[in-house]
Amino acid sequence: MRALIVEKDEDGKTSASVQEIEEQRLPEGDVTVAVEYSTVNYKDGLCIGPGGGLVRNYPHVPGIDFAGTVESSDDPRYKPGDKVVLTGWRVGEAHWGGYAEKARVKADWLVPLPDGLSTREAMAVGTAGFTAMLAVMALEKQGLKPGQGPVLVTGASGGVGSVATAILANLGYEVAGVTGRPESADYLKDLGASQIVPREDIAEAVKRPLESETWAGCVDAVGGAMLARVLGQMKYGASVAAVGLAGGAALPATVVPFLLRGVNLLGIDSVMQPYENRLEAWKRIATDLPMEKLEAMIQPATLADLPGLGADILKGQVRGRVVVDVN
Ligand code: NDP
């Protein structure tokens, strides 16, 4: 079987290459999956490169998500031929992941592919899109409904942002996308954004703890100073789903928006998400994400493209969704 193997030399330097390896080298697990597609996330960029502290042992096969067909299973929940998708559980970090023709994993980590979604579409969605759906579900649970005002999506042309934009627009929300790439404006409008907010308009540090009440909700992939600014721009009682840290992990904010405007900050984790929520999110993706919009986001790739793509995503240079055909 072919796999992208990351090795570490005696000086601690890592290198990634496509290699032919024996299937027996796959880690322990109760289900073996013939992987069809994977994708490229920020964490993959780290794991293809120096590891960012995520990878425990080398040689390593990265790929934090994949979709494919069950080849063999020791678990009664899955049988050969079942279509499955996997995100999270530290697969591709602590456990060998999806950048290979086969993967062996725990049955608990898998989700059956919902009707109406192909394995290729599932990886066009990927961890980023799955997390975007979790963020939208969290905002809805807090009472967000169409018609309450514009919903802000930060890092809009990235993976999380693109899918969040398409889902929200399809559900009838007015979507404002923040981007640092002016050339992404048409792409975001095609996904359904009705307003483009230049990154520099919202990236500066908080000067006043409260600004005009502007956003009815927010899916935030950026964190840092931008999230701090956004908190002060939320409408009364509105919620921000904090998904990512593309702009930084610090939160240089004040608590004033929480105290005077009842703003809510909702944490979104995709890695340890309980099974029932995963099932619901994947079902919602199959119904609420317009597949023709998804198709327009896809950038196809192969295992051999991954070292380059891993470096690109760390520089914030990947737009939309990379779909890796591992075969
Ligand atoms: P991408 O790299 O595809 O997208 C991030 C986007 O953020 C970029 O495309 C860019 O958008 C914007 N951006 C990048 N750098 C900066 C910066 N310095 N300041 C402001 N904006 C910036 O990543 P993903 O969409 O895959 O992931 C987004 C974040 O979410 C990452 O931090 C990732 O680790 C996190 N994540 C978290 C998950 C969870 O479980 N909570 C799951 C998946 C991802 P533009 O060019 O339009 O400005």
DSSP labels for 144-164? --TTS--EEESSTTSHHHHHH
- How far apart, in whole angstroms, are the C-alpha atoms of residue 94 and residue 103? 13
Nearest atom of ligand 1 to the alpha carbon of 242: 41
Q: Is the CB of 222 under 6 A from ligand 1?
A: yes
Give this prediction's pTM: 0.95
CA angle 132, 207, 159 (to 5 degrees): 15
Q: How far is the CA of 25 from the centre of ligand 1 (A)?
A: 33
The DSSP output letter for 326 is -
> Which residues fall within 8 angstroms of residue 207, CB to CB, at 6 or more apart?
none
Q: Which residue's C-alpha comes closest to atom 33 of ligand 1?
A: 244
- Nearest-CA neighbor of 228 among 246, 238, 240? 240
68: Cβ below 6 Å to ligand 1?
no
Calculate helix-pair angle for 119-141, 275-288, nearest 10 degrees: 110
- The finding on whether 243 has its CB within 6 A of some atom of ligand 1 is yes
Beta bridge partners of 300: 323
Most informative mutation of 43, 160, 229, 314 for ligand 1 (most atoms within 8 A of CB): 160
Distance 83 CA to ligand 1 centre (A): 29
Q: Give the residue, out of 222, 226, 265, 321, with the most ligand 1 atoms within 8 A of its beta carbon, to mutate for a pocket test.
A: 222
| Residue keyed to tokens 């980590």 | 109
184 in ligand 1 pocket by Cβ < 6 Å? yes
Determine whether the shortest distance from the Cβ of 313 to ligand 1 is under 6 A. Answer: yes
Q: Give yes or no for residue 41 CB within 6 A of ligand 1.
A: yes
Q: Indicate if ligand 1 lies below 6 Å from the C-beta of 268.
A: yes
Q: How much distance in Å is there from the Cα of 130 to the middle of ligand 1?
A: 14
Query: For ligand 1, is residue 149 a contact (CB within 6 Å)?
Result: no
Question: What is the DSSP-derived secondary structure letter of residue 27?
Answer: P
pLDDT tens, position by position, for the chain (327 residues)?
Answer: 999 999 999 998 999 999 999 999 999 999 999 999 999 998 999 999 987 789 989 999 999 999 999 999 999 999 999 999 999 999 999 999 999 999 999 999 999 999 999 999 999 999 999 999 999 999 999 999 999 999 999 999 988 999 999 999 999 999 999 999 999 999 999 999 999 999 999 988 899 999 999 999 999 999 999 999 999 999 999 999 999 999 999 999 999 999 999 999 999 999 999 999 999 999 999 999 998 988 888 999 999 999 999 999 988 888 778 999 999
CA triple 140-161-202, angle to 5 deg: 95
Q: Which domains does the chain have, with CATH numbers?
A: 2-113+294-325 (3.90.180.10), 126-267 (3.40.50.720)
What single string gives the DSSP state of each residue in 213-249?
A: --EEEEEES--HHHHHHHHTTEEEEEEEEE---TT-S
Q: Is the CB of 245 under 6 A from ligand 1?
A: yes
Q: Please give the angle made by the CA atoms of 138, 291 and 81, to the nearest 5 degrees.
A: 90
Of all protein residues, the one whose alpha carbon is nearest to atom 10 of ligand 1 is 155
Rounded to the nearest whole angstrom, what is the distance from the C-alpha of residue 22 to the centroid of ligand 1? 35
pLDDT tens digits, one per residue of 138-167: 999 999 999 999 999 999 998 899 999 999
- Residue whose Cα lies nearest atom 30 of ligand 1: it is 244
Strands (E), the chain: 2-8, 14-20, 31-39, 65-73, 83-87, 102-105, 110-112, 151-153, 175-179, 195-198, 215-220, 234-242, 264-267, 298-302, 321-325
| Chain segment 65-111, per-residue pLDDT in tens | 999 999 999 999 999 999 999 999 999 999 999 999 999 999 999 99
Backbone phi and psi for residue 191, each to the nearest 5 degrees, phi listed first: -75, -15
The answer to whether 129 touches 217, Cβ cutoff 8 Å, is no
Alpha carbon 199 to its chain centroid, in Å, reads 20
* 271 Cβ below 6 A of ligand 1: yes
With beta carbons less than 8 A apart as the criterion, state whether 35 and 102 touch.
Answer: yes
Q: For atom 11 of ligand 1, which residue has the closest CA?
A: 155
How far is residue 141 from each of residues 116, 259, 298, measured CA to CA in Å?
A: 25, 21, 30
Quote the ligand 1 centre to 81 CA distance (angstroms): 34
CB 233 within 8 A of CB 212: yes
Under DSSP, the state recorded for 114 is P
Q: Ligand 1: distance of its center to the CA of 158 in Å?
A: 6
User: Do residues 138 and 168 touch, judged by C-beta distance below 8 A?
Assistant: no
